[in-house]
Structure 1
Amino acid sequence: MRMLLDTNVWSHLSRQGLGEEFYRLIKRRSVNVVTAPASLLELLRTPQGPLRRESVKLIGRSLWTRLPTEAESEVRELVAEVARLRKGWLLSEPLRGRYAALASDWRHGIWRAARRDDASVIDYAKRHAVEARAGISQHQREQSARWRDEGFLRGLADTVACIDGTIGFPRPEDESWFQSQGWRPGTHVEAWRLEALQRIHQGLFMAKRPYAEPTTGSAYADWFETFVDLDAVSAKRAEFGELLLYEMAASAIPRAWMRWALGLVQHAVKKSSGNAVDAQLSTYLYDADLFFTSDKRFQKLLESIYPKSPIPFAVPVYLNPAGNLCSDIEELMEDAVR
């Protein structure tokens, strides 16, 4: 069984001094705990020094399995579809040295620095994706206002019910841009594909800077160009966009669907400053079987979209932070197995 913990659970375990008890539980039950780099960065933003150090020490234990970043995982899904649909866009020789450098920094380097409580990595965590998170929050506020005016905003049950049938086409003011990126006028597609096209286009073609080190430039582009001729694909953006809109299988790029689906249902409940972080962490759910969170709202939203996902993701389980955390985790694991 693969277990993923929400960042708040790592914090609660550390705050209550239960790190060693949790470690012994996992060893005794032979559970595979998988850890998300996004949670590590969030824990590094903890303002209280002692809690930050204890939390990072716990999430950084060598027994756990460290997952790739969400950027690497999403790009690997894209690359696999490019290989299936346009094999000629692949590099004849992958840039293995660059890939190894990226992987080493994110699998080892940043974790070692975090365990040392290195000031530079704490500063990086505070700065990491600040603009992206703010952009997501602003986008959701603007979209909610627009949908409210259009009468589209609904309760959670109604929003979930329309996920399967939600089709998309560009707004009139955006149609020329979408046409330049592969949109076929007069057609419609699953709504998540339009959002995915905008986000992936930004990550691959607009935010790219010359590669320097894994923490600079566009993470999407850095991972993508280790396997694919990015210049060639950039010259064929409309063809790439057409593949994403009409040919790539939802089951092959589920993380793109997840970001859209979670963002959609987030509109149906009270807004939270944690929406952007939740969207980031949700992409890791495809790497686990159980996901424990102490955020009732997040668990409820994930549970609501679980049956709609193109492929299964980790079952979301609420963990009461006021309870006996380790005993409750063990009991909930047993319930899941049954």
Structure 2
Amino acid sequence: MKVFLDTNIWRYIADTGAFNTLVETASNNGIELVVAPALVHEVRQLRDDTLRKKILNIIASPRLVRLMPEIYLEAEDIKKIMEKYRREWLIPNPDGSECDSLIDNWTKSEGGYWEDVANDISPPVTDESQRGELEHELAQQESKEIRVRINEKKSVLPASLDLKKVYFPLSAENSKPEREFVEYWRAQSLYLFKAEFAIYTSPYREWLDYFIEVSKIESQSDLLAGLWYNEVSINELPREWLRGAFMYLQCFHKITSGTPGDSQLSSHLIDVDVVMSADKNFIRFAKQCRQDAPFSIAQEYLISAGSTGVEEVIQHMRELNL
């Protein structure tokens, strides 16, 4: 059983010095504790040097299961989609050596990304990393702007919401007489990838450029829209559905600096069996997604703050396999 702890819980664990107890409890109960680079990004925003170093050191422990970045996992989903539906966009005999080198940096047991995390060493600045930081800021700004529009229209979240029935109005150039609306996640996801494909320094393109002829996609945007709107199923792009669902739900709640991070973390709800967080909105959104998603995602647990929360996490792990 895989358990994912949100950033706030790792802070409580660092504050209370409970890491060894946590790991031993997990091991004794057949549980793998999972971490992801999105957690690292959030922790690196902390200005308290001592606290930041302490948290980074424990979440980089080799005793934990390390996920690949959510952008890499999404890119792998995109590759499968292109192989199935648009083989004419693939590069013949692709050279994946550069991509393999990147994967090695993320997965090696010694050195590489996670050793730098443990030592609080920031990764080297690249065009892609700078673009990634900008995207985080833009996502936060976009969330705020959507929130303003929601308030202006005095829209409220429906009491009996089903995320599978949330739709987005298509613009005149993208709609057809028989279809003026599309599922929300499809529009949000298509908008993201069209924007990313157009930017050479996109972190998505860092994983996809060797495999896909991006110039062909840009010149055939109508076929890309047709693929996203009409051909791909929810179960083929579950991470896109989750991100779209989280972004939709976030429209009706206060936007914070952690809002884009929550959308990033939502991608991993299909990678684990349980997620625990002290963030009420994150847990509320995860619960709504679990109820409505046409695929299985993690069971959510809301945890108290501080040392009480650490005790709750340990108790939950003792009970999970009962």
On whether the aligned pair clears a TM of 0.5, the verdict is yes
**TM-score normalised by L of structure 1:** 0.85
Aligned to 1:203: 196
Question: Cα 1:191–1:325, aligned 2, differ >3 Å: closer, same or farther?
Answer: closer
Work out which of the residue numbers 273, 276, 279 in structure 2 matches 1:295: 279
Matches for 1:1-338 after TM superposition, within 5 Å:
1-108=1-108, 109-118=112-121, 120-121=122-123, 129-151=132-154, 153-155=155-157, 157-158=159-160, 161-171=161-171, 175-176=172-173, 179=174, 184=176, 186-187=178-179, 188-204=181-197, 206-208=198-200, 217-338=201-322
Question: Cα 1:94–1:100, aligned 2, differ >3 Å: closer, same or farther?
Answer: same
How many pairs does the alignment contain?
317
Aligned-partner Cα distance in 1 for 2:157–2:227: 33
C-alpha deviation, 1:100, in angstroms: 0.9
Aligned-partner Cα distance in 2 for 1:54–1:128: 28
Aligned with 2:123: secondary structure?
helix
Deviation larger for 316-325 or 261-270: 316-325
Are the equivalent residues in 2 in contact too, given 1:44–1:122 (CA < 8 A)?
Answer: no
- Provide the alpha-carbon RMSD of the alignment: 2.5
- For 1:66, the aligned partner's letter is R
5+ residue gaps, structure 2: none
Aligned with 1:47: secondary structure?
coil
Are the equivalent residues in 1 in contact too, given 2:246–2:285 (CA < 8 A)?
Answer: yes
**TM-score normalised by L of structure 2:** 0.89
Aligned with 1:129: secondary structure?
helix
C-alpha deviation, 1:142, in angstroms: 2.2
Aligned with 2:98: secondary structure?
helix
Aligned with 1:164: secondary structure?
helix
C-alpha deviation, 1:140, in angstroms: 2.3
Aligned-partner Cα distance in 1 for 2:218–2:280: 42
Deviation larger for 195-204 or 271-280: 271-280
Question: Cα 1:271–1:332, aligned 2, differ >3 Å: closer, same or farther?
Answer: same
5+ residue gaps, structure 1: 209-216
- For 1:58, the aligned partner's letter is I
C-alpha deviation, 1:324, in angstroms: 4.2
Deviation larger for 7-16 or 44-53: 44-53
Aligned-partner Cα distance in 2 for 1:241–1:117: 42
C-alpha deviation, 1:265, in angstroms: 1.3
Aligned to 1:212: none
Are the equivalent residues in 2 in contact too, given 1:74–1:255 (CA < 8 A)?
Answer: yes
Aligned with 2:300: secondary structure?
strand
- For 1:195, the aligned partner's letter is Q
Are the equivalent residues in 1 in contact too, given 2:162–2:292 (CA < 8 A)?
Answer: no
Deviation larger for 309-318 or 21-30: 21-30
Deviation per residue, 1:23-81 (Å, 9 max, x gap): 22222223112211010122222222222222111111112221111111111111111
Aligned with 1:317: secondary structure?
strand
Aligned with 1:13: secondary structure?
helix
- For 1:48, the aligned partner's letter is D
- For 1:306, the aligned partner's letter is R
C-alpha deviation, 1:305, in angstroms: 2.4
Are the equivalent residues in 2 in contact too, given 1:251–1:311 (CA < 8 A)?
Answer: yes
Percent of residue pairs bearing the same amino acid type? 21
Aligned-partner Cα distance in 2 for 1:130–1:110: 17
